[in-house]
């Protein structure tokens, strides 16, 4: 049995981000990441299924934020209110201290198609999990899917804005604005 390495996962994730940013994702091997924090490649792959996964560390907790908030929402909440609850729950992971980390991470992802694919896969997984929770709340399958996809879209669009250079508004403030705009875009009888 390999010995337990306290905080190994966090150290690997942090080292990976720095190496990817400095020399590129493709140019950085798992072994190099591990060695930079005094660990072995084998330890790396005990914590992460592949090199891409290291950038999606914390995804389970992220999805749980959405699901826990939805489970706790008022029984008579409308689907729109539930979309708002889900999005706002997700934003709690992204405070101002995290913004520069998120910017750096996104630059790495944007530079690599395989990482973009993994990110879309994760977002699709989030939407599926949210739809499942909405169905558990008694919302029919079609409405649950559409509400979940809308929540994922609002989250993703707000996130992209939040990490823009020069953007100073909080994630919450941006998310509220994006959700209000989605309501406007899909409203009937509204002329522009």
Q: Kindly list the residues in this chain that would bind a second copy in the complex (CB under 8 A).
A: 76, 78-80, 83, 113, 116-117, 120-121, 124, 139, 142-143, 145-147, 149-150, 153-154, 157, 178, 181-192
Distance of CA 73 to the CA centre of its chain: 21
Nearer to a second copy, 10 or 181 (CB): 181
Place of tokens 């395989």: 114
The tally of CA atoms less than 13 A away on the side-chain side of residue 148 is: 26
Closest approach of a second copy to the CB of residue 2, in Å? 29
Closest approach of a second copy to the CB of residue 178, in Å? 7
Nearer to a second copy, 168 or 188 (CB): 188
Nearest to 177 by CA among 150, 143, 154: 154
Nearer to a second copy, 29 or 143 (CB): 143
**In whole angstroms, how far apart are CA 102 and each of 37, 43, 111, 177, 178?**
22, 25, 14, 20, 19
Closest approach of a second copy to the CB of residue 33, in Å? 24
Nearer to a second copy, 58 or 125 (CB): 125
Closest approach of a second copy to the CB of residue 132, in Å? 15
Closest approach of a second copy to the CB of residue 103, in Å? 19
Q: How far apart are CA 13 and CA 159, in angstroms?
A: 21
Q: How far apart are CA 191 and CA 141, in angstroms?
A: 31
Nearer to a second copy, 1 or 49 (CB): 49
CB-based contacts of 62, cutoff 8 Å, min separation 6: 90, 93, 126
């Amino acid at each position: 049995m390999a010995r337990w390495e306290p905080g190994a996962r966090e150290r690997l994730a942090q080292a990976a981000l720095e190496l990817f940013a400095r020399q590129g994702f493709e140019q950085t091997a798992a072994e190099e990441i591990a060695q930079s924090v005094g660990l072995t490649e084998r330890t790396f792959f005990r914590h992460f299924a592949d090199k891409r996964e290291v950038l999606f560390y914390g995804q389970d907790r992220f999805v749980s934020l959405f699901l826990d908030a939805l489970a706790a929402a008022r029984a008579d909440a409308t689907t729109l209110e539930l979309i708002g609850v889900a999005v706002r729950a997700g934003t709690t992971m992204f405070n101002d201290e995290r913004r520069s980390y998120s910017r750096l991470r996104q630059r790495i992802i944007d530079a690599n198609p395989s990482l973009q694919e993994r990110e879309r896969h994760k977002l699709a997984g989030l939407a599926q999990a949210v739809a499942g929770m909405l169905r558990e709340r008694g919302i029919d399958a079609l409405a649950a899917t559409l509400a979940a996809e809308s929540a994922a879209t609002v989250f993703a669009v707000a996130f992209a804005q939040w990490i823009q250079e020069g953007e100073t508004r909080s994630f919450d403030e941006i998310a509220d604005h994006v959700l209000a705009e989605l309501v406007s875009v899909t409203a009937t009888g509204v002329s522009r």
